[in-house]
């Protein structure tokens, strides 16, 4: 059974870089049927797609975040990562990592991790 | 990029049929996907494709689509169905991008 687990600091200072890692277990990231992606949810608000990455390294990003976001993959560790630069309070959210099918059906999801941006 | 519009909230009596809708231009080209999210939990996939339920999702959940509108129908809503429901689809301007609706909070009375 495939599982994903987010890890990283829960508190980031404004203007700094948010960094999270997603560890995949129960299956390999080296799978040409899936992308691996990030989705966030500000407290009490809806879901926002951040972007995803193919095992080969090809990435796709939400245009509204593209200038500040980098997603990378480490197939040797079966992990993929997210960086968001120059964070502000608006980046405070629960960050979910998840597997995306080629048709963009997202399943399964990690449990999510809350990242708070402090001033 | 595309936008998907959902009603913020819907309520229905226990055991009744409830329909949650999602509107957007991308739905003319792509199927909607539906996720259920309960408080403090990650979203769970409940419907995808033309009308496909993942393993473990009760058959009271069904999906349909017409024009630019997709619907998730719960026939005989149960108390445990009370949750936020989000639709999503591929972005019509870039099929490699994903868009979400704003979510609908379902209250089962």
Q: What is the pLDDT of residues B51-100, one digit of tens each?
A: 999 999 999 999 999 999 999 999 999 999 999 999 999 998 888 899 99
Question: Counting runs of H as helices and runs of E as strands, what totals does chain B give?
Answer: 0, 9
Distance from CA of B48 to the nearest CA of A (A): 7
Q: Which of A47, A52, A63 sits opposite B100 (nearest CB)?
A: A47
- Encode pLDDT of B79-91 as tens digits: 999 999 999 999 9
**Of A45, A33, A23, nearest in space to B102 by CA:** A45
Tell whether B38 is within 8 A of chain A (Cβ): no
Q: Which of A37, A103, A105 sits opposite B45 (nearest CB)?
A: A105
Contacts of B102 in chain A (CB under 8 A): 46
pLDDT at position B2, please? 76
Mean per-residue pLDDT over chain B, rounded: 96
- Encode pLDDT of A92-119 as tens digits: 999 999 999 988 999 999 999 999 999 8
Q: Is the peptide bond before A108 cis (omega within 30 degrees of 0)?
A: yes
pLDDT at position A88, please? 98
Q: Which structure tokens are listed for B82? A: 């009370």
pLDDT band at A34 (very low <50, low <70, confident <90, very high): very high
Find, in chain A, the residue whose alpha carbon is nearest to that of B89: A104
- Encode pLDDT of A46-103 as tens digits: 999 999 999 999 999 999 999 999 999 999 999 999 999 999 999 999 999 999 998 8
C-alpha A51/C-alpha A65 separation (Å) is 9
pLDDT at position B94, please? 86
pLDDT at position B17, please? 97
Query: Is the Cβ pair A104, B90 closer than 8 Å?
Result: yes
- DSSP class per residue in A20-38: EEEEEESS-S--TTEEEEE
């Amino acid at each position: 059974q495939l599982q994903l687990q987010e890890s990283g600091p829960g508190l980031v200072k404004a203007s700094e870089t948010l960094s999270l890692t997603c560890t995949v277990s129960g299956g390999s990231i080296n799978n040409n049927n899936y992308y691996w992606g990030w989705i966030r949810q500000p407290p009490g608000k809806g879901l926002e797609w951040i972007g995803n990455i193919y095992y080969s390294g090809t990435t796709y990003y939400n245009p509204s975040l593209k200038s500040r976001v980098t997603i990378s993959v480490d197939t040797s560790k079966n992990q993929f990562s997210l960086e968001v630069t120059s964070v502000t309070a608006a980046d405070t959210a629960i960050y979910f990592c998840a597997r995306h099918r080629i048709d963009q059906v997202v399943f399964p999801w990690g449990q999510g991790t809350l990242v708070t941006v402090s001033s | 990029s595309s936008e998907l519009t959902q009603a913020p909230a819907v309520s229905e009596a226990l055991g009744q049929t409830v329909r949650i809708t999602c509107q957007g231009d991308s739905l003319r080209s792509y199927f909607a996907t539906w996720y259920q999210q309960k408080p403090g939990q990650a979203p769970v996939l409940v419907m995808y494709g033309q009308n496909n339920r993942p393993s473990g999702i009760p058959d009271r959940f069904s999906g349909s689509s017409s024009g630019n509108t997709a619907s998730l129908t719960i026939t005989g809503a149960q108390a445990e169905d009370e949750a936020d429901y989000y639709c999503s689809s591929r972005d019509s301007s870039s099929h490699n991008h994903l868009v979400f609706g704003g979510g609908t909070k379902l209250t089962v009375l």
